[in-house]
Structure formats: structure tokens, C-alpha cells
Amino acid sequence: MKGDVKDKLLHPIMGSNAFRMCCEAFVKSKAIAFLTIVYRDEDQKKALNDEYEIVRKKTDCSLSPIMTKGGEERKDSVLHGLQALPDACKFVQVHDCARPMIRPSTVSMITREVEAKGAVVACRPAQDTVRQIEATETDPNNPQSTKTLERHKLWLMETPQAARKDWLMQGFHEAAKQKISITDEIAALELISKKTAFLELGYPNPKITKMDDLDFIQYLLQK
């Protein structure tokens, strides 16, 4: 957010915030046995704990979260979260708390789907034409040679992204071994040749990356 807000996960959204909304979706689904919250630093840890207490009281939830410190990149934070889970946990949903529109029904559906299929991701098909610039390290304002990608094969990844925990652990360790920077869990599964089922949600699940996104989410909630 480039300093526009102190913490986009805790920035007010119609009397709530992105973190609180995400937690409510997961605990209300009644499908989650363990919940790991990955935090940035001690100040954020305290703030997230306070927010979770609000969720606990509002939903009458008895689920206590496992708090674990994140890493330098997303892949490091996810791996820390996976390592903090108990052995009894066999399947994992990884959710980016910058996507606060996720619904309890989706969490429950993904729980059923991942047990049957091994890996499933919330996503949506690309609707725009996507082109790839052939050259690298050039100014895109200059004329470019391009390649048009086949739109019917393109899907935009969202979260939750769910998979067997042992697959995720293996994938993230393989990424570390090859020194590959990955931006989501499906990329880790690709490294170990695991297939993923796609789940189109049928409702908006936008990610907060800039100030306009906060306005858009508020608009959706008001509707």
C-alpha cells in the first residue's frame, strides 16, 4: 500500500477490517480444526490477537489460533505456518487476508473438495485478452513484439488455495532447494508435478493492493 495505510489488514472497512472478516469466514464455516495466523512483528501480533478476540466473542468460537512469525517472502511465511500446524492436520487452506470477501460456505466447500481431489484453488477465468511481451527488460511504452495467449486456458488465481499438507511441504522445500521464488501455493505444487482442481467462486473475491480496492470492497458490501 506504499504507506497509504498503516496496516491494510486492519484498516477500517464498514465497522470491521479485512483480517476480522477473513477470520469470521473461517470459524463460521465449522470446517476448520486448526487455525494458524502468520504475523509480521510483535506489534502486529498483538493487534491480530486483539482482533481475533473480537471474532471469538462475536461468533462464540472456541478455536484458539496458533500464532507464528512470518518470513521475508510469502513462501517463507507460508512454510512457517505449515510447520506450526500439528501432525493431525492433513489438509491446509492458505488464505491471503487481503481478500476479505471470502465466505464461510466457500471455506466449507473447499474443505470437501480438497479431501476428494488433493488440491483445489479459488480462481476465476480470464475475461480479457492477455498478451505477452516477447522481449525482456525493455520499456513497454516502446513498440513491442507480442504474443497473444490463449484466453480459454488462462485462469486468475485467488485464495484460499488448498492442498494436502505433505504436498505443500514437499513443494515449498523443492522451491527452496532450487532457489525459486514462488508467489502462490499452486506454483509449489507444480514443482512436484501435482495437479490442481479449479473452483470458480461465482462472487467477487478482490484483493486489497491499493486504496481504490478498499473503496471497491466497501461498495460491494453496501450492495
Is residue 204, in this structure, part of any structural domain at all? Answer: yes
For residue 116, what is the domain's CATH number?
A: 3.90.550.10
Confidence (pTM): 0.93
Which residues does 153 contact at the CB level (< 8 Å), separation at least 6? none
Instruction: Using DSSP bridges, classify how beta strands 197-200 and 155-164 pair: parallel, antiparallel or unpaired.
Output: unpaired
Structural domain boundaries enclosing 212: 18-134+144-222
Task: Give the mean model confidence (pLDDT) for residues 86-103.
Answer: 97
- Cβ atoms < 10 Å from Cβ of 126: 15
Is residue 53, in this structure, part of any structural domain at all? Answer: yes
Asked if pLDDT for residue 138 goes beyond 90, the answer is: no
CB 35, CB 27: distance < 8 Å: yes
Cis-peptide, bond into residue 160, ω within 30° of zero: yes
Q: What is the mean pLDDT of the chain?
A: 95
Query: Which segments of 123-200 does DSSP mark as H helices, in order?
Result: 165-178, 185-191
Give 154-192 pLDDT, tens digit per residue.
999 999 999 999 999 999 999 999 999 999 999 999 999
Is residue 216, in this structure, part of any structural domain at all? Answer: yes
Per-residue pLDDT band at 2 (split at 50, 70, 90): confident
Instruction: Using DSSP bridges, classify how beta strands 66-69 and 146-148 pair: parallel, antiparallel or unpaired.
Output: unpaired
Is residue 1, in this structure, part of any structural domain at all? Answer: no
Is residue 98, in this structure, part of any structural domain at all? Answer: yes
Is residue 3, in this structure, part of any structural domain at all? Answer: no
Give 65-87 pLDDT, tens digit per residue.
999 999 999 999 999 999 999 99
Q: Which residues partner with 93 through β-bridges?
A: 162
pLDDT computed for residue 144 by the predictor? 87
Is residue 32, in this structure, part of any structural domain at all? Answer: yes
Domain count, the chain: 1
Is residue 2, in this structure, part of any structural domain at all? Answer: no
CB 208, CB 18: distance < 8 Å: yes
Give 107-120 pLDDT, tens digit per residue.
999 999 999 999 99
Which residues does 195 contact at the CB level (< 8 Å), separation at least 6? 118, 119, 189
pLDDT computed for residue 136 by the predictor? 74
